[in-house]
Amino acid sequence: MQKPSLPKGTRDFGPLQMARRNYILDAIKDTFQLFGYQQLETPAMENLSTLTGKYGEEGDQLLFKILNSGDFLKELSPADLGKGAAVVLPKVAEKGLRYDLTVPFARYVAMNRGELSFPFKRFQIQPVWRADRPQRGRYREFYQCDADVVGTRSLLCEAEIILMIQRVFTKLGIPAFSIKVNHRQLLAGISEAIGAQGMEGPLCVAIDKLDKIGWEKVQEELRQKGFSESSIQGLSPLVQLPKGRKERMSALGDFIKHSELGRKGLQELQEMVDLLEKMGASLEQFEFDPMLARGLSYYTGAIFEVKVLNVSIGSVSGGGRYDNLTGVFGLPDVPGVGFSFGVDRLYDVLEELQLFPEEASLGTSLLLCPVDEAGFDYALTLLTQMRQAGIASELYPEVAKLKKQLEFAFKKQIAHVGICGQEEANSKTLSLKNLTTGHQEKLSLDQVVQKLLGNKI
RNA sequence: GUGAUUGUAGCUCAGUUGGUUAGAGCGCUGGUUUGUGGCACCAGAGGUCGCCGGUUCGAGCCCGGUCUUUCACCCCA
């Protein structure tokens, strides 16, 4: 006998967790569909050639590779073994587990370009796998929840992303959150304005940490990366910006007035705000943050990040615009914009704020408890009738001690039990007991149905 | 990938400088109640002390390795 265990960084989801996860996912799905997004699923495994080289060197190491079936050594010569992993790997593995949902989506768009009508709006909710070292809130298997629009440069998509985020968070009852927005071209403009043109890559990586490590350490990191002292000092006005959106945007307009890229980025953000205002949207959570960078290098336009206020968890959603989704798959010039909800983190947030509703865990509403053989047969006929009436019901599957059956119902949080024995069978009634109040009465079947359905409404 | 850290009953955890038969609370099973749960009382089951090796007369405790947990870094959701 062996002690069972889970692979590192993976989890089971029990009934309570599933009910709660579905509560979150339903809110998200519902919102995506309301905004005209269509659901897509792709296989858990992709050809390794589809995946490698898309996530940088580090990403390739984090890919889970699938050993070829059968004799996976047959392509391999003894000499190959000495040549290292790069030579051996393609000969023993041709498939890998998906690392995110964006690359499979790009593959799908490239493969189905003829069938799709653009702009194409899709959402996708599936697990992804990374051979990372697990930590709190970081797993080797986790769900991503992506929505993207491809085939248009319209800023309406960006504006709608704000609306969808607002709708989901409101639906989940999250009281205070902030949608941080910035623009990659504005970051390029900032880079230009401080005399470090073309260095926005390392600049982004460093200033993205501003929240976490503070201005002093960011300066240190910039020095290490070869930014001149005057560039770093040039950045300092951005660390303490005016609070209001309008004031901020005009301060930035001033800062990057000599950079064409910067002006264009800022103008796009302004256009987003205009669209939202025309749609009558609230801009309460909209926060323009010129120091927001986000790691992913393929973003080229607006970028987003959502933080829930007053919780210990980091960002729970994010995304941005990219120019060229499918270029590597032979379909150039497909622009798009997408974002993603971190389901696991949202779960932690709702738990921390105690925002899960009671109903998210409810199941059966009536348990029939047979106390003798006649009662069991009688309960069989009742079971069908109750279910036909729309009452989620089950029958305790054996004639056991009533005590045991009541305990079972109590633990499963079933609100009502119907006790059936010879007596009830003879009189065509049911002894209905409310386990919350302890009240019990003998009712006709119609009365039972009425009572249980009435309670529901 | 780097550096730390954790592991004892189903769960949360005690366990003395290394010393006989490893404990508690909760949970579980049965009973006090042959048609009435939560509460109470009584009784019981349940452990290769993560795994492998070493030191020792003797290891849950010391040492090495390995797996696992958690944390920081790198990176990321």
DSSP A371-417: -SHHHHHHHHHHHHHHHHTT--EEE-SS---HHHHHHHHHHTT-SEE
Q: Do residues A300 and A398 share a domain?
A: no
Rounded CA–C1' distance between A381 and B35, in angstroms: 20
Residues A49 and A34 in one domain: no
At a CB cut-off of 8 Å and minimum separation 6, what does A15 contact?
A: A361, A363
A339 assigned to some structural domain: yes
- Whether nucleic acid strand B comes within 7 Å of the CB of A312, the answer is no
Distance of C1' in B27 from CA in A407, Å: 14
Provide the CA A41 to C1' B49 distance, Å, integer.
47
Q: Is residue A423 assigned to a domain?
A: yes
Predicted confidence pLDDT, tens digits, chain A (457 residues): 567 778 888 888 888 888 889 999 999 999 999 999 999 999 999 999 999 888 877 888 899 999 888 888 888 888 777 777 778 888 888 999 999 999 999 999 999 999 999 999 999 999 999 998 888 778 899 999 999 999 999 999 999 999 999 999 999 999 899 999 999 999 889 888 888 877 777 787 777 777 777 788 888 888 877 888 888 888 888 877 888 888 999 999 988 888 999 999 999 999 999 999 999 999 999 999 888 887 667 888 999 999 888 877 778 898 999 988 898 899 998 999 999 998 988 888 888 888 888 765 567 889 999 999 999 999 999 999 999 999 999 999 989 999 999 999 998 889 899 999 999 999 999 999 999 889 999 999 999 999 998 754 4
A401 beta carbon to strand B: under 7 Å: yes
Pairing of strands A93-97, A45-47: antiparallel
Q: Under a CB-based contact definition with an 8 Å cutoff, are residues A311 and A354 in contact?
A: no
Q: Is A1 inside any structural domain?
A: no
Spatial separation of the C-alpha atoms in residues A188 and A196, rounded to whole Å: 9
A180 touches strand B (CB under 7 A): no
Protein residue closest to B2, using CA and C1'? A133
* A6 contact to strand B (CB, 7 A limit): yes
Tell me how far the alpha carbon of residue A404 is from its chain's centroid.
41
Q: Would the Cβ of A26 be found within 7 angstroms of any atom in strand B?
A: no
User: Domain of A63?
Assistant: 45-97
Number of separate domains in chain A: 3
**A332 within domain boundaries:** yes
Is the CB of A287 within 7 Å of strand B?
Answer: no
Tokens encoding A294? 């986000």
A 73-102, residues with C-beta < 7 Å of strand B: 100
pTM of the model: 0.87
Residues A309 and A371 both lie in one domain? no
Report whether A343 contacts A145 (CB < 8 A): yes
Q: Which nucleotide is nearest to A319 (CA to C1')?
A: B77
| Whether A185 and A61 share a structural domain | no
Nucleotide nearest A316 (Cα, C1') = B77
